[in-house]
Chain A
Amino acid sequence: MSDEIDPELTRLFVAADEALPPEQFVAEAVQRIRRNRRLSMVRRLCVVSAVVVAAAGVAPFVADFSVDVVRYSGGGIEGFADLLVSPIGAAASMVVGFIILRRVRATRR
């Protein structure tokens, strides 16, 4: 340390430092961490439950909407629908799905 310091004060600070017994402190710290872990687990469970309940409530509307969208867009792609259920269409879908999965993984990293 290049800054100017008072040796007498330094000595006082060194003398004031005591070796504090670790047992009780460590036990309390560990207990606090455990409590915190439990709380965050409960919080996470609550969030997941809330999402599941919300998803269950919204699901019928989403399903109806999806059916409407498919019905509406399906009119224009009747010929394409036959292609999708053919072996070539299924293989192409798998390739596209694989590419999408790889991209999602890449963005996660």
Chain B
Amino acid sequence: MNDARPGMMLGEATEATVVALAAAGDDAAYSELVRRRQSAIRNLMRRLCRDAALADDLAQQTFLQAWRTLRGLKSPTAFGGWLRKLAVNVWLQHERANRVEKASTQIVDTLEAAAEFTASFTPTLSEKIDLDSALATLPPNVRICVVLAYNEGMSHSEISSVTAIPLGTVKSHVTRGSARLRELLRSYQHDIGVRHVR
């Protein structure tokens, strides 16, 4: 990649300008975009994957795909949302590819099955249950809806359009997923409290 453009100048430019430069083939501008957006995309992937190494790998795949298709982006100001959509697609593709390996993901599409799946999870004192661990117990379709609602602040209809999950299903997923998360985190906080008392 061509790194001739001074980083300082790019660092001060607006994102729309940097996107326009990157779309025109400026590699240094693209590096600047990766630098600016990497934390958000990696955090999103971490909420979705739990495994930090895998999350970083998927985040890099997202940036690679973005680099390949950046010229197709109509409005430079829409870069953030577009990149987030790409990230969601990368994660969904990864989940689909792994579906065969994971028997549990065969039941993702029904809420009853989701409840059954998460009910089998019982946190113990020895198990560290943090937000990512709790999220990992949710079925993938429920997890993506919850993460996009809370981590990205997206509305149900936005989630529906990004994930291609029907709006009604998104609402149910967010409601049921949030309830399950609250339940898990409450028992975790309770367990931690017990441990501290002892």
Contact = CB atoms under 8 A, between A and B. Distances in A.
Contacts of A1: 149, 153-155
A64 interface: no
A22 B155 contact: no
Q: How large is the interface on B (under 10, 10 to 19, 20 to 34, 35 or more residues)?
A: 35 or more
Contacts of B47: 13, 16
B38 A29 contact: yes
B63 interface: yes
B77 interface: no
A77 interface: no
Given A3-B155, A16-B132, A29 B64 contact: yes
B67 A9 contact: no
Interface stretch (A32-40, A44-52, A80-88, A96-104): A32-40
A21 to B, nearest CB: 9
Most buried by B among A1, A3, A4, A8: A3
A20 B60 CA distance: 14
B1 A30 contact: yes
Nearest to B55: A20
Given A29-B34, A32-B64, A3 B43 contact: no
Nearest to A23: B35
A22 B37 CA distance: 9
